[in-house]
Chain A
Amino acid sequence: MPDHARPPDGTDRPAESAGVGAGRTRRPSRGSLLVALLLALLGFAMVVQLRTTASSTPYAGARRDDLVQLLDSLDSASSRAESQISDLQATQRQLEGSSTKTRSALQQARKEATTLAILSGSIGATGPGVEIRIDDPAGQVGAATMLNVVEELRDAGAEAIQVNDSVRVVAQTYFADTVNAISIDGTPVTAPYTLKAVGDPQTLSVAASFPGGLKDVVESLGGSVSVTPMDRVDITALSVRRDPDYAVPAS
């Protein structure tokens, strides 16, 4: 080994060989104090550096190039994240729009279902209207007259009609004469007849009592009619449920 006894390159140590005579001194001279000072400096710097390395963030000691590279990658990552955010926001808006549309469609459908249920008599109805009482001691009021009454009420805008609190009159309702009663949708109804109709009370009253109309006809048959406009009429009877056997929706 060439470096067995001599310093490896000696570029900054040649004087050490030259200072052989001065070495190995033990007295606390100025020189050894200087050495102690330098070593103290070394220990101090070492501890400081160790502390700095241990306590500082990973980027504190980083060089400018590394930091620039780091910044670049963070920039691209953040722009990626931003484009993701805008994508997701667009999706969110889309979903919100479609959910609003769905909700309004649902509301529309519910409203329509309610309207149709009232018109078809599958649920009860309430509102302002009239109550018409027809007394028929002579037994002359038949299905035709009753149909006329209903037609007059419909003409005046009645939205829900029931007879004697037991029969709901809807679009499909039929009237037929039987021996002692009128059969409405198969339910026998006898006098006195009490019709309840929801609609504009004023118009309905007028429709029931105009000259030559329902009132005159019934009175000519020996009966009597009383019309009472009411603020609130409760229609509780439900119509007979009819499911179409033959008709299917067109198109």
Chain B
Amino acid sequence: MIAALGLVVGIVLGILLQPSVPLALQPYLPIAVVAALDATFGALRAYLDGVFDDRVFFVSFLSNVVIAALIVYLGDRLGVGNQLSTGVVVVLGIRIFTNVAAIRRHIFHA
């Protein structure tokens, strides 16, 4: 409940404050958002499985975001930023799909 409230508060804050993304962060923010989504869906699935742990969620959330941004940063330095960020998005997307499938099975039993 508090988690959902936090999400809503974050969205409202984003809408109200209308901050602009620093130029240095612009290539990494989308990837970080996707990584955070992956962690969040994973947490939701774990919650439905009854194995949720907020410490694990905290660590996986932050490490997901940091690693995703790091991979893209590294790719940019190596000159394969485009391909690598595509790869990261694909991998994260697959995981999101898998997690959502598990969540769906929990909710709809199908």
Q: Is the CB of B58 within 8 A of A35?
A: yes
State the majority secondary structure of interface residues on B.
Answer: helix
State the majority secondary structure of interface residues on A.
Answer: helix
Q: Is the CB of A35 within 8 A of B76?
A: no
How many residue pairs link A and B with beta carbons under 8 A? The number is 169
Q: Is A34 an interface residue (CB 8 A)?
A: yes
Q: Is A4 an interface residue (CB 8 A)?
A: yes
Given A23-B50, A48-B19 in contact, is the A7-B60 Cβ separation under 8 Å?
no
Note all chain A residues with C-beta closer than 8 A to B107.
none
CA distance A5 to B9 in the complex (A): 32
Selected from A26, A38, A48, A61, the residue in CB contact (under 8 A) with B61 is: A38
Tell me the B19-37 residues at the A interface (CB within 8 Å).
Answer: 19-21, 26-27, 29-30, 32-33, 36-37
Most buried by B among A22, A33, A35, A64: A35
Q: Is the CB of A43 within 8 A of B7?
A: yes
CA distance A45 to B15 in the complex (A): 10
Selected from A13, A24, A39, A40, the residue in CB contact (under 8 A) with B56 is: A13
Note all chain B residues with C-beta closer than 8 A to A226.
none
Chain A residue at smallest Cβ distance from B4: A39
Given A13-B46, A65-B79 in contact, is the A52-B51 Cβ separation under 8 Å?
no
Q: Is A174 an interface residue (CB 8 A)?
A: no
CA distance A31 to B59 in the complex (A): 12
Q: Is A115 an interface residue (CB 8 A)?
A: no
Note all chain A residues with C-beta closer than 8 A to B47.
23-24
Note all chain A residues with C-beta closer than 8 A to B64.
12
Q: Is the CB of B52 within 8 A of A16?
A: yes
CA distance A118 to B51 in the complex (A): 117
B52 to chain A, nearest CB (A): 4
Q: Is the CB of A16 within 8 A of B56?
A: yes
Q: Is the CB of B54 within 8 A of A31?
A: yes
Q: Is the CB of B2 within 8 A of A3?
A: no
Q: Is the CB of B3 within 8 A of A32?
A: yes
Q: Is the CB of A39 within 8 A of B6?
A: yes
Q: Is A42 an interface residue (CB 8 A)?
A: yes
What are 6 A-B contacts defined by CB distance under 8 Å?
A8-B95, A24-B47, A33-B2, A35-B57, A43-B13, A47-B10
Q: Which residues of A contact B (CB under 8 A)?
A: 3-5, 7-9, 12-13, 15-20, 22-24, 26, 28-29, 31-49, 51-53, 60-61, 63-66
The 8 closest A-B pairs by CB, nearest first: A19-B53, A36-B6, A47-B14, A43-B10, A31-B54, A40-B10, A43-B11, A15-B56
**Further 11 A-B residue pairs, CB within 8 A, beyond A43-B7, A43-B14:** A5-B102, A19-B51, A34-B58, A35-B58, A36-B2, A42-B40, A43-B10, A45-B32, A45-B36, A46-B33, A47-B15
